[in-house]
Amino acid sequence: MDKFVIRGGNPLVGTIRVSGAKNSALPCMAAAILTEDVVTLSNIPRVRDIETERKLLQSMGAEVGLREGEAQDRTTICCRTLSDPVAKYEIVKTMRASSLVLGPLVARVGMARVAMPGGCAIGGRPIDLHIRGLEKMGATITQEHGYLEARADRLHGAHIVFDKITVTGTEDLLMAAVLADGETLMENCAREPEVTDLTALLKAMGAKIQGAGTSTIRVQGVSKLHGAEYRINPDRIEAGTFLIAGAITAGDLIVANCNTSHLRAVIAKLLQAGARVEVLGPDAVRVRSDGKLRAVDITTEEYPGFPTDMQAQYMALATQAQGECRVTENIFENRFMHVQELVRMGANIKVDGNTATVRGPAQLSAAAVMCSDLRASASLVLAALVADGESVLDRVYHMDRGYERIEEKLCGVGAQIQRLGNLFAPREPES
């Protein structure tokens, strides 16, 4: 398994470019199931979860590829033949977003078998709301041997009110609704930019959708969708991680190729914490810091609130801020796995239920630490960038699930990071 060796102490200076959003690319790839035609996606990040989704679609009979001579961030998907509409456990266990194929498969071929995802490091992650919504749309769902089987000759429109805001749940049911018979009204939907990204692709494929980006989405089902070309939006979490990297290292960093309108909550907190942040335009933002940061509380919320996917990275920053702050995690029940590792590096953090109290600034000292999930890994990279000495981060495959060549990008602006091992090791690790 790959490791990172990181020598801390360098301010990050220069321009760093953001890749396409993993969490947009995943549902957009699943959306290709909805048509017999070719869907071409660009700005696809080269990360492990995308490789996993490629394998998942291929295992169902889809043709997924990079066209000869085309840019590496472009992929074509043709789901004319879906001979095996099954998401196997071997794939689902490494990537919970595999449940995103449930809705589109039932809508397109009338049946889906998807392994139940089970829990993961950050929480239980049930998919009961996906199931309940599909049942309302007329699917019959059975569960056996760890698999969910959903069947429907043709789904029909329904009125769905989500008990809880769910990002992939909204995306899954949206993809089911676009080919359903009649109108679907979905309330209490996720308003994340990734839902809006998926909607833009679905509309380009001929779907009739209103209200994406708000909590009420209305869909008029159509009988068929066609192929389309679509460019995935930049990754707001990668961009946010880089903004924190600039601030925590007392650097001067331009984060380019991002969508600054998706970064408002993170930018607002950085400004309160004393970083200088300047939006240079719709796709670039500059962050500077003199290293004197103030402790500021955060509470994770659904978009447009402060994202749970930035909580761990923010906590690394908080260890370097003057004073005491509270970090409250409202979305997942167990998303503080990075805390113990940060404490091992010298941070002063106490957890009580879903709130962590961070006292700073702490002089972090390099240590051997373990990555437990994607964003926890990012938090440890950030901490290691300011720690005294050389840290060794184990299990960086978690990082590779969602950050494209992060060590190359960070080294390009002055970080000292070495990878030990291969980027895509032959063995499939569990998440």
Distance CA 298, CA 318 (A): 10
Min. distance of Cβ 96 from ligand EPU in angstroms?
6
Distance CA 374, CA 239 (A): 15
- List the alpha helices (DSSP H) in 205-262: 236-248
Which C-beta is closer to ligand EPU: that of 96 or that of 338?
96
127 is an interface residue for ligand EPU by CB under 6 A: yes
| Residue from 87, 112, 129, 415 in contact with ligand EPU (CB under 6 A) | 129
Which C-beta is closer to ligand EPU: that of 240 or that of 251?
240
For residues 89 to 108, the per-residue mask of contacts with ligand EPU, x marking binding by CB under 6 A and - elsewhere, is -------xx-----------
Residue 77 near residue 57 (C-beta atoms within 8 A): yes
Which C-beta is closer to ligand EPU: that of 137 or that of 295?
137
360 is an interface residue for ligand EPU by CB under 6 A: no
Distance CA 243, CA 370 (A): 23
Which C-beta is closer to ligand EPU: that of 367 or that of 380?
380
Q: Counting beta carbons within 10 angstroms of the beta carbon of residue 136, is it exposed (0 to 12), middle (13 to 18) or buried (19 or more)? A: middle
Which C-beta is closer to ligand EPU: that of 253 or that of 331?
331
278 is an interface residue for ligand EPU by CB under 6 A: no
Contact segment (CB under 6 A) with ligand EPU among 4-12, 148-156, 161-169, 383-391 equals 161-169
The CA-based angle 42-122-214, given to 5 degrees, is: 55
Element (H, E) at 16: strand 13-17
Just list the catalytic residues. 120
Min. distance of Cβ 117 from ligand EPU in angstroms?
9
| Residue from 159, 164, 292, 350 in contact with ligand EPU (CB under 6 A) | 164
Tokens of 43: 């700005």
374 is an interface residue for ligand EPU by CB under 6 A: yes
Distance CA 384, CA 395 (A): 15
331 is an interface residue for ligand EPU by CB under 6 A: yes
User: Residue 298 pairs with which residues in a beta bridge?
Assistant: 327
Restricted to residues 16-35, the positions that interact with ligand EPU (CB under 6 A) are: 23, 26
313 is an interface residue for ligand EPU by CB under 6 A: no
Tokens of 116: 């139940």
Amino acid making up residue 299: T
Contact segment (CB under 6 A) with ligand EPU among 80-88, 121-129, 288-296, 359-367 equals 121-129
379 is an interface residue for ligand EPU by CB under 6 A: no
Contacts of residue 371, defined as CB under 8 A and 6 or more positions apart, other chains included, come to: 377, 380, 393, 394, 395, 396, 398, 399
Number of residues that bind ligand EPU (CB under 6 A): 25
Amino acid making up residue 211: G
123 is an interface residue for ligand EPU by CB under 6 A: yes
Which C-beta is closer to ligand EPU: that of 253 or that of 378?
378
| Residue from 3, 125, 154, 156 in contact with ligand EPU (CB under 6 A) | 125
User: Residue 263 pairs with which residues in a beta bridge?
Assistant: none
C-alpha 357: how far from chain center: 25
Residue 325 near residue 297 (C-beta atoms within 8 A): yes
Closest to 14 measured CA to CA, from 238, 282, 249, 315: 249
Distance CA 246, CA 250 (A): 6
236 is an interface residue for ligand EPU by CB under 6 A: no
Closest to 174 measured CA to CA, from 141, 143, 205, 148: 205
Contacts of residue 127, defined as CB under 8 A and 6 or more positions apart, other chains included, come to: 99, 102, 116, 117, 148, 169
Restricted to residues 293-312, the positions that interact with ligand EPU (CB under 6 A) are: 308-309
Which C-beta is closer to ligand EPU: that of 115 or that of 366?
115
402 is an interface residue for ligand EPU by CB under 6 A: yes
63 is an interface residue for ligand EPU by CB under 6 A: no
Which C-beta is closer to ligand EPU: that of 4 or that of 332?
332
Dmax (CA) for the chain in angstroms is: 62
Min. distance of Cβ 95 from ligand EPU in angstroms?
8
Min. distance of Cβ 380 from ligand EPU in angstroms?
14
Which residues contribute to the site for ligand EPU (CB under 6 A)? 23, 26, 96-97, 123-130, 164, 166-169, 194, 308-309, 331-332, 374-375, 402
